[in-house]
Structure 1
Amino acid sequence: MYNIGDVVMYGTFGICKIASIEKRDFMGEENDYYILRHVYNEKNTFYVPVDNELAVSRLHKVCSKADVDELIGHMNAEAPIWIDNEIKRKEEYSRIIKEGNKHEIIRLIKTLYLRRKELYAEKKKLRSSDGSYLTLAENMLYEEFAYALDIDRSEVVDYIEKHIA
């Protein structure tokens, strides 16, 4: 159960604050909803049914600076997760994005960075679907890290590079 004022990561939508918990009638049935407001764009409002386990599973509290530093400290140890079969790869990457586990998101980013580097050496590019997963994963991770570290999103990669060694 989340409380009013909690700051959460809401799936791929980003960092939101729970503005209120209200009864709403959206389909002829009144239910309790978390009313989320995106912290960087308050025009974005999301209504998450409190009793919908799947919808609520997409919420998690934003990590702390200590959590970020711990995640960065383990980045080198995270093993890549490249899957040659494109269909299986898409399924796995989609699952990782949906579940939002930061260790797996880091593995996904690392995998696609390394793959892009390999392909670049061969004068090739990432498949567009892999590029899309990379962008989604980066946006999710970097927005949360930026919020936790109280820095601009554009500074996150520099922060990681300074602390990864």
Structure 2
Amino acid sequence: MFKINDHVVYQSSGVYKIVDIRKEKDFNKNDTEYYVMEPVFNNNLTTKIPVNNKKVMMRNVITKDEALALITSMPEEETVWLNNNRERSGNFKEALKSGKTEEWARIIKTIYLHKQERNELGKTIMKSDEDAMENAEKILNQELAVALNILPEEVPAFIKERLKDTD
């Protein structure tokens, strides 16, 4: 069970802070305990989730050590490109929903490298691939930002600097 002030990754929506845990009546008039959460990086939407809900992916944000280890492992991360557009799109959607930082990093690397190849040919990538990369970057950058105590927009530069130091 999470506690008030915990930072959690919620679905593929991003990082939230649990601001309250309260009992309220549910649709069936039963007393139900809820997590009340606010997005860490845009405070315009409060979300309420039943504590006992097993259908949603929600987990603690990774630690600083886990974040640094993930960044260090990025150059060795294998790519997962599939030529079939439908299979690839489904694969990326499942990886996004998985809640696994390694999967998000793999999506980003895979699409980034494909995008570079396409750019060299004077071509662009599919919109669905671009969207998958943007979603993976958003949630990964938010999680790494919380773990490293920096802003999400500072994460790419932090990663580049960190990887430069390990060469």
Structure 2 length as normaliser, TM-score?
Answer: 0.91
Amino acid in the other structure paired with 2:5: G
Give the structure 2 partner of residue 35 of structure 1: 36
Q: 5+ unaligned residues in a row in structure 1: which ranges? A: none
Distance 2:77 2:10 in 1: 24
Deviation string, structure 1 residues 2-31 (Cα, Å, up to 9, x no partner): 112211111222221111221223423332
Matched, 1:46 2:76: no
Deviation string, structure 1 residues 29-70 (Cα, Å, up to 9, x no partner): 332211111223333111111122012xx2111112211110
Distance 2:63 2:7 in 1: 11
What secondary structure does 2:21 align onto?
A: strand
* CA RMSD of superposed structures (Å): 1.3
Distance 2:103 2:43 in 1: 29
Equivalent pairs, count: 163
The alignment-based identity, stated in percent, is: 31
Distance 1:43 1:114 in 2: 34
Structure 1 length as normaliser, TM-score?
Answer: 0.92
Give the structure 2 partner of residue 12 of structure 1: 12
Does the 8 A contact of 2:17 with 2:37 survive in 1?
yes
Give the structure 2 partner of residue 91 of structure 1: 90
Q: 5+ unaligned residues in a row in structure 2: which ranges? A: none
